[in-house]
């Protein structure tokens, strides 16, 4: 049966993938409370549609960091995409380019920044950074992204220490050397194998706000990913971030943390329009993108949704997922009386009265 939404793609991906890989992609930390809460939190906001507006011509296009995108939905950085499909990160990047949006390449990707740029020369790419203990390796990776014309560095700040993912412990999920990770090869000199947490011990737990300025030497805008409080949102503005992503890593790091749909308001209020705010976590429908825009996000990122598309049908699957989400978004915008993302205002959303 032809998949007609993200949930259909998830079911098909579960059939297509080995159980341990599916568990790694789908799972979250510990009791997976935040993983579930991310999904549920979007349902606790309701849209307030306006009617009798001419919505004969709806566009989903907008800009992020000054760059035009055809839809306010970016591909989140997701590690090890080579395990989902042989197309891997190149496939996701091809789909993002076809959809005219941005793809964030993970530090733990199976493709190096230079390889990605070579495979998809016209694509818009951002580089997600984990700050390695060996800052020489970190510098080399960012420098490669700069030379490959990536548009931003996305520093992930919600993963100071490796995750506790019990699904992976139970399935014995391991990274194996047959799908190498260029950043790990650069750090260790060989394609290491082991549970993801072991590879993650290459990342330093000691980076603080003071060290952010070291990233300015690369000349790329710095986006901080993983902010969920007003306090840190203010610090992000004060330390020169160009934008931030309200994110809890898709419920994969701190279990019991606030769902992102609920954190968005306090972050947007604290930022006071100084920098762009994006959000990710649990977004599975175009109507939820409208809620995110109404709550003050400039754009959203999706992780698992495009990963399911990749697992089912490689680059074509990612493209189809993006097409579905874009169609849902255009539909929801029209039914809310909006002809573009710019028309969405805080008045288009209200807290659900349950
Ligand atoms: C399998 C998987 C791997 C991920 N790897 C990374 C990563 O390497 N770096 C990062 O910043 N975030 C990573 N994330 C988090 C995503 O960027 C994003 O925050 C999250 O997936 C959003 O939630 P969603 O999957 O519900 O859309 C990963 C998420 C998943 C599901």
Mean pLDDT for 299-316 is: 98
Distance 301 CA to ligand 1 centre (A): 9
Could you tell me the pLDDT band of residue 136, with boundaries at 50, 70 and 90?
very high
User: Which pLDDT score, from 0 to 100, does residue 353 have?
Assistant: 84
Looking at residue 1, its pLDDT comes to 79
| Nearest ligand 1 atom to alpha carbon 108 | 8
Question: Residue 77 Cα, ligand 1 centroid: separation in angstroms?
Answer: 6
pLDDT at 347: 98
The rounded percent of the chain whose pLDDT value lies above 90 is 94
- Nearest residue by C-alpha to atom 5 in ligand 1: 78
Closest CA to 91 of 303, 315, 306: 315
How far does residue 178's CA lie from ligand 1's centre (Å)? Answer: 22
- The predicted model scores a pTM of 0.98
| pLDDT beyond 80 at 354 | no
Residue of the nearest CA to atom 3 in ligand 1? 78
Q: What is the pLDDT of residue 238?
A: 97
CA of 108 to the centre of ligand 1 (A): 11
How does DSSP assign 232-290, residue by residue? Answer: HHHHHHHTT-SEEEE--GGGTSSTTPPPHHHHHHHHHHHHTTSSEEEEESS--SHHHHH
Mutate to test the pocket of ligand 1, among 249, 260, 304, 321 (most ligand atoms within 8 A of CB): 249
Active site residue 331: no
Q: Which residues line ligand 1 (CB under 6 A)?
A: 24-25, 38, 76-79, 106, 108, 128, 156, 225, 247, 249-250, 252, 280-283, 302-304
Catalytic residue among 85, 125, 249, 348: 249
Q: Which residues pair with 245 in a beta bridge?
A: 225, 278
The answer on pLDDT for 312 being more than 80 is yes
pLDDT exceeds cutoff 80 at 135: yes
Ligand 1 atom 28: the closest Cα is on which residue?
78
User: Would you say residue 80 has pLDDT above 90?
Assistant: yes
In this prediction, residue 191 carries a pLDDT of 86
Token reading at 271: 């930022």
Mutate to test the pocket of ligand 1, among 181, 303, 311 (most ligand atoms within 8 A of CB): 303
pLDDT band, residue 147 (cuts 50/70/90): very high
Q: What is the pLDDT of residue 247?
A: 98
Residue-wise pLDDT for 286-296, tens only, equals 999 999 999 99
Mutate to test the pocket of ligand 1, among 252, 253, 289 (most ligand atoms within 8 A of CB): 252
User: What's the mean pLDDT in 87-93?
Assistant: 97
Which stretches of 70-157 are assigned E, i.e. beta strand? Answer: 73-75, 102-105, 124-129, 153-156
For ligand 1, the distance from its centroid to the CA atom of residue 26, given in whole angstroms, is 10
Residue 225 CA, chain-centre distance (Å), reads: 9
Model confidence pLDDT, tens digit, residues 30-72: 999 999 999 999 999 999 999 999 999 999 999 999 999 999 9
Write out pLDDT tens, residues 160-212.
Answer: 999 999 999 999 999 998 888 999 898 888 888 899 988 999 999 999 999 99
Give me the phi and psi of 75, to 5 degrees please. -85, 120
Q: What is the pLDDT of residues 21-37, one digit of tens each?
A: 999 999 999 999 999 99
Q: Cα(302) to centroid of ligand 1, in Å?
A: 8
**What pLDDT digit, counting tens, does each position of 216-274 carry?**
999 999 999 999 999 999 999 999 999 999 999 999 999 999 999 999 999 999 999 99
Atom of ligand 1 nearest to the CA of 281: 23
Indicate which atom in ligand 1 lies nearest the CA of residue 25.
1
pLDDT at site 3: 96
Closest ligand 1 atom to Cα of 247: 19
Helix (H) / strand (E) element for 93: namely helix 88-99
Atom of ligand 1 nearest to the CA of 107: 8
In tens, the pLDDT along 294-305 reads 999 999 999 999
CA of 75 to the centre of ligand 1 (A): 10
CA pair distance 130, 133, nearest whole angstrom: 9
- Give every CB contact of residue 23 below 8 A, 6+ residues apart in sequence: 167, 168, 170, 171, 173
CA distance 118 to 318: 19
Average pLDDT over residues 146-156: 97
């Amino acid at each position: 049966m032809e998949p007609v939404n993200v949930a259909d793609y998830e079911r098909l991906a579960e059939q297509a993938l080995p159980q341990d890989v599916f568990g790694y992609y789908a799972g979250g930390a510990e009791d997976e409370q935040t993983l579930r809460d991310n999904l549920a939190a979007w349902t606790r906001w309701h849209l307030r549609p306006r009617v009798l507006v001419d919505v004969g011509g709806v566009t989903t296009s907008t800009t992020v960091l000054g760059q035009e995108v055809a839809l306010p939905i970016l591909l989140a950085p997701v590690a090890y995409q080579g395990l989902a499909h042989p197309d891997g990160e190149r496939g996701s990047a091809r789909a993002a380019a076809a959809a005219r949006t941005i793809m964030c390449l993970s530090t733990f990707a199976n493709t190096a920044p230079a390889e990605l740029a070579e495979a998809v020369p016209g694509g818009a790419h951002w580089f997600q950074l984990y700050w390695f203990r060996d800052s020489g390796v970190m510098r080399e990776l960012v420098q490669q992204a700069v030379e490959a014309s990536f548009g931003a560095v996305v520093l992930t700040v919600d993963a100071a220490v490796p995750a506790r993912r019990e699904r992976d412990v139970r399935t014995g999920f391991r990274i194996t050397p047959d799908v190498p990770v260029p950043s790990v090869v650069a750090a260790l000199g060989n394609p290491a194998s082991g549970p993801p947490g072991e590879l993650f011990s290459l990342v330093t737990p000691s980076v603080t706000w003071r060290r952010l300025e070291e990233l300015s030497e690369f000349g790329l805008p710095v986006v901080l990913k993983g902010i969920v409080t007003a306090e840190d949102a203010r610090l992000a503005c004060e330390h020169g971030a160009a934008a931030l992503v309200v994110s809890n890593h898709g419920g994969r790091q701190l279990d019991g943390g606030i769902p992102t749909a609920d954190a968005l308001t306090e972050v947007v209020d604290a930022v006071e329009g100084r920098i762009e705010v994006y959000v990710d976590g649990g977004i599975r429908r175009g109507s939820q993108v409208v809620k995110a825009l109404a709550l003050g996000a400039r754009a959203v990122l999706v992780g698992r949704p495009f990963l399911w598309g990749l697992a089912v049908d490689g680059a074509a699957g990612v493209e189809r997922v993006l097409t579905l989400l874009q169609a849902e978004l255009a539909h929801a915008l029209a039914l809310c009386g909006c002809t573009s993302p710019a028309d969405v205002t805080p008045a288009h959303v209200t807290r659900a009265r349950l």
